[in-house]
Structure 1
């Protein structure tokens, strides 16, 4: 089917429960090829259960799923998949290079390609200078990066990353963000499970939110922020007896109002239907005589959208 060619992951009512409890229930996802897809949810929401089903570590209770066009019940579906689990332990006595060489043998990479591929991966994760150091002597951040290197060895088309930046310092996180952006430019799909919403906000457009095993939202989260344009504006006062609502054109709504710390100025949050309304707003207030000290378009963060969903079931960005 043509639709299958456009999806890296497709699930239909995928379910995993433990004696009827926990896990996740009837998850139907559609992850586009080439997307950086973020999976969000509180602790215990079923995120790890879902990922483990997709990579073949758990068998579903019911439902179906395809990975790169093949059923997850078919081992061939995982030939072009890389996976970095959240809690992993590698052989402390091996050097970083030896660990990658061991994993290259597990992936059955051709012998003539192994040296070149290891060098490429070490360069990608920034550990070339530490290739001969034992993994047991690596910092937590370096161990996280060598784990990422193991996932990238087979040059996968789909990469699952479970909390990939949790142990990294700011420099290490930037390395991983840049690497993910590079993978996307190559047309690869990256599926990330993370609690660091600020990290996901900078690299993910498509997300899914699950809570208590149920899917609450999936899609392009940035579209939720565009349903209503909101503008913060700080104004001086016209004089006694005059207020903004009386002179404001009908296409604008006053969502909130507060007095600022600066005497004689008020801060308003206004709603309108389009960005094109903003210049007209400035012109309208100027004509009336309002002094304008600040105007800023307000956009919801991914964190706010996430909290709205998990705190208020049925919320749809309105």
Structure 2
């Protein structure tokens, strides 16, 4: 079963008085297999973040169908999804634990009673347990990225969607985030993360979705893709060339 399926998603942003409309997504269609790690790769401005924002209705698409676990998004299915935006807004006056409590209450309210167990588990996974009572304003950039991941995995989601989770991190921070994602893979979580860094895809993914200028160029098994092109860097260059009429 596909944990996420998107069919013919279109989005146009209206231009200003002297600007043309921007057709950002053009019949975007792809699906994510259950239990696998899917990479969403494309150049900056290719449409990755716009697509992800459309998934949660942060941006209203012009047309298209989006299904999670075989049906449109509902309040119940939202509890099965963890999400980290590209630029998360973190309330710097909160402590790490308070930040996680805020997200827990938004997801469950007071219906679930095991917050502390889940919070401690998430904080230990991202190596922030000792910093749990520090205010976020005292966290480094890498720590802020990890507390964002902690809130995404807090509810033990079945599907984890991360938008550029390693953007701007130093090598140590990138390595730690990759280790966290590998732990989630072992738990059987379906992972979907975007990046413009092809090395991340090669290291972590089994499935690949390639987007360029708002159009899907490839949706399928990563190993088949690699067998044809040997490297993602070469493949992405060839696919872009074909789509833009250079090859």
**TM-score for the superposition, normalised by structure 1:** 0.70
Using the alignment, how far apart are the partners of 2:31 and 2:52 within structure 1?
14
Q: Structure 1's 43 and 22: CA in aligned 2 closer, same or farther, altered over 3 A?
A: farther
Alignment map for 1:1-318 (pairs within 5 Å): 6-19=1-14, 21-72=22-73, 74-108=74-108, 110-227=111-228, 300-313=230-243
- Aligned equivalents of 1:77 and 1:59: distance in 2? 19
Q: Is the 8 A contact 1:159 1:191 kept in 2?
A: yes
Alpha-carbon contact 2:36-2:207 (below 8 Å) kept? yes
- TM-superposition CA deviations, 1:183-220 (whole Å, max 9, x none): 12222111101122112210012111111111111111
CA contact (8 A) 1:46 1:211 kept: yes
Instruction: Measure how far apart 1:314 and its partner are.
Output: 8.4
Is this contact kept in 2: 1:125–1:146, CA < 8 A? yes
SS in structure 2 at match of 1:112:
coil
Q: Which runs of 5+ in 2 are unaligned?
A: 15-20
Report which structure shows greater RCO (CA 8 Å, sep ≥6): 2
**How many angstroms does 1:119 deviate by?**
0.3
User: Deviation at 1:76?
Assistant: 3.7
Quote how far apart the aligned CAs of 1:128 are.
0.9
User: Cα deviations across residues 152-201 of structure 1 (Å, max 9, x unaligned)?
Assistant: 11211111101111132222222221221221222211110112211221
Judge which range, 209-218 or 163-172, deviates more.
Answer: 163-172
Distance 2:226 2:159 in 1: 28
Superposed displacement of residue 111, structure 1: 5.0
TM-score normalised according to structure 2 size: 0.89
8 A Cα contact 2:97 2:133, kept in partner: yes
Distance 2:81 2:220 in 1: 22
Say which is worse superposed, 176-185 or 81-90, in terms of deviation: 176-185
Distance 1:314 1:184 in 2: 35
Are 1:125 and 1:145, in contact at CA under 8 Å, matched by a contact in 2? yes
Q: Say whether the 8 Å CA contact 1:209–1:215 is kept in structure 2.
A: yes
* Cα root mean square deviation, aligned: 1.9
Larger Rg: 1
**For the residues of structure 2 that align with 1:108 and 1:53, how far apart are their CA atoms?**
23
Q: Deviations over 1:249-291 (max 9, x none)?
A: xxxxxxxxxxxxxxxxxxxxxxxxxxxxxxxxxxxxxxxxxxx
Q: How far off is 1:85 after superposition?
A: 0.5
Is the contact made by 2:226 and 2:232 (CA closer than 8 Å) also made in structure 1? Answer: no
Equivalent residue number for residue 18 of structure 2: none
Secondary structure at the aligned position of 1:28 is classed as strand
Equivalent-residue separation in structure 1 for 2:212 and 2:37 (angstroms): 21
Unpaired runs of 5+ residues, structure 1, are 1-5, 228-298
Q: Secondary structure at the match of 2:26?
A: strand
